[in-house]
Amino acid sequence: MKGNQYAVIGLGRFGSSLAKELVKLGYEVLGVDINEEAVEEMSQTLTHVVVADSTDEEVLKSLGVRNFDCAVVAIGDDIQSSILTAILLKDLGVKSVVAKALSDLHGKVLEKIGVDRIIFPERDMGIRVAHQLVSPNLLDY
């Protein structure tokens, strides 16, 4: 296991794919989701999984998320949950908070909260594919 520990909050398509890849790369990953089925699906793959509501400060404290090097907020549709979770993680002192945004406005709010890195999955992937199309040798853009 490598040093860094990651918490991935929201195990939808984006969060679960990201979490699995981090495990493949040799990192410890805690997966959190409010949905029991989503958690059950990842229980054999991730280092730890928990069914919990990430908008509950006490829950985040009890999971010890402040000790993680990086927490990824992979909640999109429920903008309120995304924003509340991100602000709690920042307040708890997580070193690096990454969050996915579904719209420019969502991204702006996350930026104001102080989220360290904002990902726009569809937009970022569109840019990436365009670069790969014009430079097929550039596999890892």
63 vs 32: CA distance, rounded Å: 10
Using rule CB under 6 A, residue 7 touches ligand ATP: no
Residue appearing with tokens 């991100």 = 86
Query: Out of 6, 8, 15, 110, which residue is the one contacting ligand ATP (CB under 6 A)?
Result: 15
Q: What's the residue count for the chain?
A: 141
28-33: strand order across its sheet: 48-51, 28-33, 5-9, 70-73, 96-100, 117-119
Q: In angstroms, give the least distance from the CB of 78 to ligand ATP.
A: 5
Using rule CB under 6 A, residue 12 touches ligand ATP: yes
Query: Out of 6, 54, 63, 106, which residue is the one contacting ligand ATP (CB under 6 A)?
Result: 54
Residue appearing with tokens 């360290």 = 116
Query: Out of 22, 34, 49, 109, which residue is the one contacting ligand ATP (CB under 6 A)?
Result: 34
Query: Out of 11, 65, 86, 89, which residue is the one contacting ligand ATP (CB under 6 A)?
Result: 11
